[in-house]
Amino acid sequence: MQFDARALTDPVDRREVRAHSRQLRSRFPRATRRGSSDVARIVVSVMMLVIGVPMLVFGLLALFLIDGLVPFGLAFGGMGAGLIVAAILLLVWNGSAPVQHYRLERFAAANGMSFHPGYDDPQLPGMLFDVGRQRYSEMLVRGEAPRFVEFGNYRYTTGSGKSQQTHTWGYIAVRLDAPLPNIVLDAEGNNSLFGSNLPVRLDKGQRLSLEGGFDTHFSLYCPTGYEADALYLFTPDIMQRFMNRAAQLDVEIVDDWLFFYSASPLSTLEPERWRWQFSVVGAMLDKIARWGRWRDERLRTTSTAPVAGVQPALADPQHLRPPEGVAEPGRRLKRRRFTWVTISVIAAVLIIQAISITLSVLD
């Protein structure tokens, strides 16, 4: 993969940025309305409108209907009108997104790729893309050869009220040659004190231990009964590349996609971050080609129709292979659901740890 990062750091002409922004809005009117702080901007704008509109109305009433309150009406109505104008400008303003769009599209073109500002609710099969609400991807850089690759950022919202939270991720999506079993590599290096940082919890009974120190870098999960298939896919040389290049990224294979997940944005204006991401993808491309030869033996028909005029023993071996695809048990990993018992156990463990720490400090 070629790498030219000058577009990320070279000086930009503001007139060119504005022209590019207008052109991008005409091509992608829906996507370009989103900025990097879209949710925050909308919340602040709505609050300003909620305050500004009543102030303006009350000021106009005081100005025209109540004698002796003309100065008060002018001041109060003026402040309300100012808040309304500021809210509208804030909704229209797109922050630093135009410069980012401009730089990333030039960067993509310099490296034989393309740029897209993003989508609402991207239709990707990974675990990251079916949780929360207000889901959207942004700052997408895509390559088509030697296989489709997409680098992007992704946001979604969980909770409500005071507990509402916006989650920001980065991802790399690589299209594979054939559907494969759902396999997850949970990177140990990015986990927190409370365990995995993945947006879903997986059933521990699906964890498979691998050799060569792989378990110190990743926890591998595969569907029950697909352990031998996981060993076929994750040969020692492939495991070594994951450990050397992607130890800080969570990985998921689902359907005919390979995803790398990061809890921070990956589509940025940082050249070194892009250099590392290109090295991750480049290291995997030549190794995952053999994955396209995998077939799920569970899809093999119980009886194979004979080829006319040919002895079964001499029939084309390709004719005897199962079709592309994955049997139902291997398509999705089982997720672990929290129950009140699980929550109570976790709370009890945390309380015991807190008491233990307190006692050790007192001693």
HSE of 75 in the Cβ direction (CA atoms, 13 Å)?
4
Q: Which of these, 87, 23, 94, 96, lies nearest to 53 by C-alpha position?
A: 87
Which of 281, 179, 290 is closest to 233 using CA atoms?
Answer: 290
Instruction: Enumerate the β-bridge partners of residue 251.
Output: 185, 260
Nearest-angstrom CA–CA distance, 171 and 182? 17
pLDDT for res 95:
57
Q: How many helices (H) and strands (E) does the chain have?
A: 10, 7
> Tell me, what's the pLDDT at 84?
87
Q: What's the pLDDT score for residue 41?
A: 64
CA dihedral over 116, 32, 129, 272, signed as positive or negative? positive
Give residue 76's pLDDT: 78
What CA–CA distance (Å, rounded) separates 249 from 187?
6
Q: Is 326 exposed, middle or buried (0-12, 13-18, 19+ CB in 10 A)?
A: buried
In 3D space, the residue among 341, 255, 327, 247 whose CA is nearest the CA of residue 291 turns out to be: 255
Q: What is the pLDDT of residue 237?
A: 92
pLDDT for 31 equals 64
255/265 Cα distance (integer angstroms): 24
What pLDDT, on a 0 to 100 scale, did the predictor assign at position 195?
A: 83
Instruction: Mark the ranges of the chain whose per-residue pLDDT is less than 50.
Output: 35-37, 302-305, 307, 309-316, 339-341
